[in-house]
Structure 1
Amino acid sequence: MTNSKHTCKNCEKTYSDSFAFCPHCGQKRNDQLTLKVLFYNTISNYFSFDARFFKSFFPLMLKPGFLAKKFIEGKRLLYLHPAQMYLFISLVFFFLFSFVEKDQAQQLDATLAKTMKKERVVDSLMTTIKNDSIKQSALLGKILKDSLERGELRKTFKEHKVLSELSNEELDSIISNAQFETRDFNSLSYMTKKIDSLIDSNASEDIILKEMGMTENDGYFTKRAYSQSLKFYQSKKGSGILRSFYGMIPIAMFFLLPIFAFILKMLHLKRGTYAHHLVFSFYYFAYLFTTFSIIIAINLIWDIYNWIDFLIIMSTSIYLLLALKYFYNQGWIKTFIKWCITIFIFLSIVTPVTTVFLIFYAFLFY
């Protein structure tokens, strides 16, 4: 009696019907596609979201450096792969962070709108004063100073059509922050009015940019800066720049994480290959994203005190110290010195340079 043959739908090779899985490619013989199979396989294959994740989660949070050391020692199937853990947790973090990003973008637009409203109020005030034929800045400053000392400036503000709509708090801010030197103000006021006039007359972008000061001899980035400045001035919103900045952070992490590992390699030249330090970095950054995800999740549900958030964030540096001690197995003095150097280089040099670059990129290409 011969065994019947089955043809694999994946590799199209035949094998005995007695096999539950294809001996050539490993696909299950009767692999019926259901929603459960679809989503479980997706999560399991790409993120290994199975028992290994839960076996890795608590050691990651409670045993600094433990997972990295075990992975280096060869226990690579018992715990989740460092790159897979980092990828999955970073995905969760940026999903939660998208809610924070939305709120911050709205707050930024509201702040800009309020600031620009005050600038228009000061513009209106200066125009009113200018129309009274006060030409000399010294005389103007003396009159305003005398009015302020006599308490008449607020009365003048309140009698103005536009200014009368503002609250006392907004008037206090204008009085304390407004600069009444006519030379600088008139120059800025003239420029903004001219740009507004060109925009209202539907002038081409080239004409407006030329009026702003851009020339044909300017380089690409200079022209791009002028163009984006005009875009920002027309929209009166900064949310686009902020979203562009946040959108670049996941990409930046693919450079920051290897740099962090390189710093560790330079401080521990005799402690394994670069890959060893990269494993440590993957697990440490996975811990960071997990901690930040927990903070964001809690604050989305219940707004906890800022000092609690601060203490939790600061604890991540203590976690790094303990992780370095366990992973590299050096004395406390050596570990402490290398911990200080690592934090100083990464937070004082690498992170600020990266932030400046991201802001520059976000402004030029939002």
Structure 2
Amino acid sequence: MEPNKVKCQNCEQPYEEGFQFCPHCGQKTNDELTIGVLFYNTISNYFSFDARFLKSFVPLMFRPGYLAKEFVKGKRLLYLHPAQMYLFVAVIFFFIFNFYVREGREKLDKTMEEVVASRENKGKVSKEKLSDSIYMDSLRQMALKPIKLKKDALGLKEEDLRRLDSITTVEIGSEEINTDFGFNESEIDSLIQSGASNETIYRAMGMAEDAGYFQRKIFVQGLKFYKTMGLGQIYQTFIDSIPLAMFFLMPLFALFFKVFFFKRGRYAHHLVFSFYYFSFLFLLFSLIFAINRWIWDIPDWIDWLLAFSTFFYLVASVIRFYEQNWILSFIKSGIISFFFLLLVVPVSFVMLGFIAFLFY
């Protein structure tokens, strides 16, 4: 006798009557919507996540490479998933780090305000000097006027008058101040104060008439920065972009390991290793920043010692995960760290800073 069939409300696949869960999608069969059902998945998922994180914390911090090795071996529910671990710890890190970022931006904004105020004061002094210069020039012209009128009687030529004019000139005007901006600040300040169009100012800054989108964007942002000295905004944009940049840097970090350990599993295995290693880094620095800010000001030498210890953690992780002797693990870890920290990361952060400048 064929058993009665019912249809799942979620996936609409048939199954035998009497099942408590759908064999196709796993949803509970008699899942009537109540307050308890509404919050059950959220609460159960939260406590499941919490339990797995606590189980993962000690191995992550004190057993380098263990979680990655266990995950690759197939134990994928006992501990927190590597990507989930990374995202959770990264959120914690940037939340704590944001307190330092906010203080840094406040200092930058204050410094830039002082720079703008100083520049405006210089502008006022320049105007006063310019008035003095015009006044002295008028006096000089008044003194020379009788001589010019009687030049024939005195036997003076035009060349003699020009020489006399240059001798009696007194330069009291404001000096042209060239700075690292790459243009004449006095000229740009004058154009801004006179209400000149942005196009005119761009030309004075050095933009070519046939400038393309990219070159024009640089001058647009350059003028915006010169007017506002918005270094704090650029700094904030740069910091906000770091989490996104890490999603590109971490796979690249895994690619380095794939190159150096190309016979030790698929690329996904190296990516798992990278997820857990970066999770350790974020968690360690989260603890350091949190303790320094709210509990105890850790001496600098201890901070540096803890930061330097992350390399030895990497070596220990490589020894466990890739099952290689410590000499080769140390050499390969050193080479990868060198190229990644001294070449890839600096270039990436310079590019990130440039992008932050273009789009802040």
Give the shorter-chain TM-score range: 0.7 to 0.9
Distance between the aligned counterparts of 2:25 and 2:102, measured in 1?
45
- Taking the TM superposition and a 5 Å limit, the aligned residue runs for 1:42-191 are 43=46, 49-121=49-121, 182-185=175-178, 188-191=184-187
Kept in 2, the 8 Å contact 1:89–1:286? The answer is yes
CA gap of 1:40–1:73, structure 2 versus 1, over 3 A, is same
Distance between the aligned counterparts of 1:298 and 1:331, measured in 2?
36
The residue identity in structure 2 corresponding to 1:345 is F
Are residues 1:288 and 2:284 paired? no
The alpha carbon displacement at 1:50 in A equals 4.0
The alpha carbon displacement at 1:38 in A equals 5.8
- Taking the TM superposition and a 5 Å limit, the aligned residue runs for 1:170-319 are 182-185=175-178, 188-198=184-194, 201=195, 203-302=196-295, 304-305=297-298, 307=300, 308-319=302-313
The alpha carbon displacement at 1:185 in A equals 5.0
CA deviations 1:132-163 (Å, max 9, x no partner) are: 66xxxxxxxxxxxxxxxxxxxxxxxxxxxxxx
1:359 alignment partner in structure 2: 353
Distance between the aligned counterparts of 2:234 and 2:245, measured in 1?
16
Which runs of 5 or more structure 1 residues have no equivalent in the other structure?
A: 134-180
CA deviations 1:151-205 (Å, max 9, x no partner) are: xxxxxxxxxxxxxxxxxxxxxxxxxxxxxx945459834224224314xx3x443
The residue identity in structure 1 corresponding to 2:326 is W
2:43 alignment partner in structure 1: 40
Distance between the aligned counterparts of 2:60 and 2:314, measured in 1?
12
Q: How high is the TM-score relative to the length of structure 2?
A: 0.75
The residue identity in structure 2 corresponding to 1:99 is F
CA gap of 1:74–1:111, structure 2 versus 1, over 3 A, is same
The alpha carbon displacement at 1:16 in A equals 7.2
Kept in 2, the 8 Å contact 1:53–1:80? The answer is yes
CA gap of 1:98–1:7, structure 2 versus 1, over 3 A, is farther
The residue identity in structure 2 corresponding to 1:314 is F
Distance between the aligned counterparts of 1:42 and 1:30, measured in 2?
17
How many residues are paired up?
313
The residue identity in structure 2 corresponding to 1:289 is F
Q: How high is the TM-score relative to the length of structure 1?
A: 0.74
Distance between the aligned counterparts of 1:127 and 1:189, measured in 2?
14
Are residues 1:329 and 2:323 paired? yes
CA gap of 1:43–1:245, structure 2 versus 1, over 3 A, is farther
Greater radius of gyration (CA):
2
1:30 alignment partner in structure 2: 31
CA gap of 1:240–1:21, structure 2 versus 1, over 3 A, is same
The residue identity in structure 1 corresponding to 2:31 is N
Percent of pairs identical after alignment? 45
The alignment partner of 2:64 has SS state of: coil
The alpha carbon displacement at 1:24 in A equals 4.1
The alpha carbon displacement at 1:98 in A equals 2.8
Distance between the aligned counterparts of 1:229 and 1:306, measured in 2?
40
Kept in 2, the 8 Å contact 1:65–1:326? The answer is yes
CA deviations 1:260-307 (Å, max 9, x no partner) are: 111112222222222221111111011111112222322342462451
Kept in 2, the 8 Å contact 1:68–1:279? The answer is yes
Distance between the aligned counterparts of 1:322 and 1:53, measured in 2?
22
Distance between the aligned counterparts of 1:238 and 1:247, measured in 2?
14
1:149 alignment partner in structure 2: none
Distance between the aligned counterparts of 1:81 and 1:215, measured in 2?
53
The residue identity in structure 2 corresponding to 1:65 is G
CA gap of 1:72–1:13, structure 2 versus 1, over 3 A, is closer
The alpha carbon displacement at 1:247 in A equals 1.9
Distance between the aligned counterparts of 1:130 and 1:266, measured in 2?
66
